[in-house]
Amino acid sequence: MANKKQTPARNKSLDFIFILKIVIYLVLSTQWLYLERVNATYTIPIPVGALLALFLSYRDRFRIDRKIEYVVILLAMFVGFWLPIGFTFNY
C-alpha cells in the first residue's frame, strides 16, 4: 500500500523535472553569438546556447528521453537564428 501512495508523487516530480529541463533547453538554445566585423558586410553566427544545451543534455543525471531533448534543442536553435535573439560582438 505504501508504494501506491508514493508513485503519483514521484511521477509528478519527474514530470516537473522534464518540463523544467525542456524550458531550460528552449531558452538556452535560442541564444546565438553574432560576430560582426566593423568595416565588413558579413556576420558569423555561432550557436553558443545550443552547444551549452547539448553539453548539459550529455551530462544530465536524469536521462528521461535524450532524443526529445535533442529535437527541442535543434528546433529552438533554428528559431533563435531567425529571431533577433542573442548577442552581437563587433570587432
Per-residue pLDDT tens digits for 34-51: 998 888 788 889 999 999
64 pLDDT higher than 70: no
Question: The whole model's pTM is what?
Answer: 0.76
Burial of 56 (0-12, 13-18, 19+ CB in 10 A): middle
Phi, psi of 71 (to 5 degrees): -65, -40
Amino acid 14: pLDDT: 74
87 pLDDT higher than 60: yes
CA atoms within 13 A on the CB side of 46: 10
Instruction: Please state the rounded mean pLDDT for residues 71-86.
Output: 90
Res. 7 pLDDT band, cuts 50 70 90: low
